[in-house]
Amino acid sequence: MAPQNTSRRLAAQLLNQDIDSLNGFNTIQGYSTKRQAATPEALQKAYQAMLAFQQAETEKLALYRAAADAARLAEWEFHNSVLAMKEVVRGQYGVDSDEAQSIGLKKKSDRKRPTRQRVAIAG
């Protein structure tokens, strides 16, 4: 048998089938085994552990999403503040000033003038 790849998640359909199997197993009378992983106690313990870890994952995922939203909003607020600062520098010092160049804007005098394109006549 090939080794199991435990780095990927199990499909929800497979987990639901396993839960249905466990619920059906609970109706069996007189079950006994020497395999420790297949005892009723081990099955219940594994099921409860799975539920606890799924709950913890859901809670942490909610916290992660909230933190991601807060970070995204903070990034937009910072970006808008920088844009406002650039407008103020342009207005206060002018579009051709060294101050405008120091914040990353191109001086108006450094811009390349547009050139007229000659139209080639096909002959």
Burial pattern 90-111, b for ≥16 Cβ within 10 A else e, equals beeeeeeeeebeeeeeeeeeee
- List the chain domain ranges: 37-109
Tell me the pTM.
Answer: 0.65
Are 100 and 89 spatial neighbours (Cβ–Cβ below 8 Å)? Answer: yes
What pLDDT, on the 0 to 100 scale, is given for residue 52?
98
CA–CA separation, 50 and 21 (whole Å):
15
Output the average pLDDT for the chain: 91
pLDDT tens per residue, range 70-115: 999 999 999 999 999 999 999 999 988 889 888 888 888 887 777 8
- Angle 118-122-123 from CA coordinates, rounded to 5°: 130
What pLDDT, on the 0 to 100 scale, is given for residue 123?
58
Q: How far is CA 119 from CA 34, 75, 122, in A?
A: 90, 47, 9
